[in-house]
Amino acid sequence: MLVSNNWQDYKILKTSKGMKLENWKNILLLRPDPVVTWDLGSFDDYKINAIYYRSNSGGGHWENKLKTPESWIINYQDLKFLIKEMGFKHTGLFPEQASNWDFEMDLIKKANRDIKVLNLFAYTGASTVACLKAGASVVHVDSSKGMIEWAKENVKLNHLEEKSVRYLVDDVFKFVKREIRRGNKYDAIIMDPPSYGRGANGEVWSLESDLEELIKLCKELLTDNFIFLIINTYSTNLPKVSLENILKINFKKQKILVDDLCLPIEGDNIYLPCGITGRVTNE
């Protein structure tokens, strides 16, 4: 498993009965997590800032128990990210991705040449920030204008707004196909596809039915000496072996690693599984 254990501003304090208690730079948030199938008791001993409650009809809401800022900043190494209470229990950042940020930055720096990165389903731009910080140029694509604006805030927080970055509100499939027709190439591609979603104009995305086609299209966008392709998924309907098979079929000569992304849990010597990641490299 790939463990993101270099955090100072983020910790999982406790997990129990479908919930996880996290410390986001001294702001304690209690959120549901369906993979927490064990019982380690209640959270009564903690001064929790906010709890996310699920609704029986879908979705849910945050309830602030203590004074909680509308937004705040946390650091990972020398990277900064804006955190907010969002709908559907999100905060704008997936801390388990830190192991991928380290990996991306390391390979970009080792390449010792100009690297062009394509970040698909790019959300609030954590990988965009990491790649810019390492010296790459980035094309950042997401179907949500709100997430694009948040990504711009994160880039500005890190004083990287003068770096080479393009933001595009677009459907990923349509954008990738246009890039192929235009003959554009990339040295690295990152994608965090949802299990299910809709594009900017209502286009429907399904991970199980569309992932391999997207991988094949992205392969056409990679340069011959590309440095990495990274795919992250949180879908329980896509087993790790299935993702590994897709990558092996489409990248026969490259090095492939598919593994669980995990976060350590304070004091219990156990780890929280947080989806899977697939890495393809030319090493």
Domain check: are 116 and 205 in the same one? yes
The answer to whether residue 81 sits within a structural domain is no
Domain check: are 19 and 125 in the same one? no
Per residue in 238-270, pLDDT (tens digit) is: 889 999 999 999 999 999 999 999 999 998 889
Domain check: are 119 and 185 in the same one? yes
Per residue in 118-143, pLDDT (tens digit) is: 999 999 999 999 999 999 999 999 99
What pLDDT shows up at residue 55? 85
For the cut 70, the answer to whether the pLDDT of residue 3 exceeds it is yes
Domain check: are 142 and 20 in the same one? no
Domain check: are 37 and 99 in the same one? no
Percentage of the chain with pLDDT > 90? Answer: 86
The CA-atom distances, in angstroms, between 160 and each of 71, 101, 137, 156, 189 are: 20, 16, 11, 6, 20
Q: Are 211 and 238 in contact (CB under 8 A)?
A: yes
* DSSP secondary structure letters along 178-200: HHHHHT--BSEEEE---SEEE-T
| Stated pTM of the model | 0.94
What pLDDT shows up at residue 238? 82
What pLDDT shows up at residue 248? 96
Domain check: are 135 and 266 in the same one? yes
The answer to whether residue 18 sits within a structural domain is yes
What pLDDT shows up at residue 45? 96
Per residue in 17-66, pLDDT (tens digit) is: 999 999 999 999 999 999 999 999 999 999 999 999 988 777 899 999 99
Per residue in 100-109, pLDDT (tens digit) is: 999 999 999 9
For residues 230-235, average pLDDT: 90
Give the domain range for residue 27: 2-68
The answer to whether residue 45 sits within a structural domain is yes
Domain check: are 124 and 252 in the same one? yes
For residues 180-203, average pLDDT: 84
Residue-wise over 187-217: b if at least 16 C-beta within 10 A, else e? bbbbbbbeeebebbeeeebebeeebbebbee
Q: Count how many domains the chain has.
A: 2
The answer to whether residue 124 sits within a structural domain is yes
